[in-house]
A and B are shown apart, each in its own frame.
Chain A
Amino acid sequence: NAGVMQNPRHLVRRRGQEARLRCSPMKGHSHVYWYRQLPEEGLKFMVYLQKENIIDESGMPKERFSAEFPKEGPSILRIQQVVRGDSAAYFCASSPWPREENDEQFFGPGTRLTVL
């Protein structure tokens, strides 16, 4: 299966704990995007990364949230000291090196985070 992989699919954390979400892009894709979706709401862009580089993090909260996409291994979205408001579905998408007429994004199945 060459699709975008995310794990875990479901994650339960207590307030104050850390959540670590992983995303492996499609084979051949070098760009990763993270989105958050609250119940009954639209997708909210969080961060856009390529290998070892953050391109745009304008949608990510300044505190407690961080993202990385190392040279080897999956992209990681890390949420420190989680609060109930962090409960949401977190989607990762990937694309090849984007250029005109080759810029569609392909989504993983998402990680559903529940904060108790």
Chain B
Amino acid sequence: QKEVEQNSGPLSVPEGAIASLNCTYSDRGSQSFFWYRQYSGKSPELIMFIYSNGDKEDGRFTAQLNKASQYVSLLIRDSQPSDSATYLCAVVMDSNYQLIWGAGTKLIIKP
């Protein structure tokens, strides 16, 4: 069974702090890892992808991948109230390149 696990939250973080979102996956051979953000009532939008072990930074966002431990995380620095959303982790686990989705973590940034 191919699975992607996320803590559903809500995760509450004060404005200006670092928000840390975690995701674990079941298939050691997984290839590609994505973080999507979904505001309430809207469609998911891609914010980061990572393919190699280590860190990848894009503005206030940093994705971290550890294939040996089978987890991927997303750090949001200097959190803003506009970052309040559900963050979805998605992983490609097979040769069809189909995404397997986590259930999402609801993030709340408190002013």
Q: Do A and B bind each other?
A: yes
A interface, CB within 8 angstroms of B: 33, 41-43, 45, 48, 55-56, 91, 95, 98-101, 103-110
B interface, CB within 8 angstroms of A: 31-32, 34, 42-46, 49, 51, 88, 90, 92, 96-99, 101-104
A-B contact count (CB 8 A): 54
Query: Can you list 17 A-B pairs with a CB-CB distance of less than 8 A?
Result: A41-B103, A43-B44, A43-B101, A45-B99, A48-B98, A56-B98, A95-B97, A98-B97, A100-B32, A101-B51, A103-B92, A103-B97, A104-B34, A104-B46, A106-B46, A107-B43, A107-B44
B99 smallest CB distance to A (angstroms): 6
Q: Which residues of A contact B34 (CB under 8 A)?
A: 104
B91 smallest CB distance to A (angstroms): 11
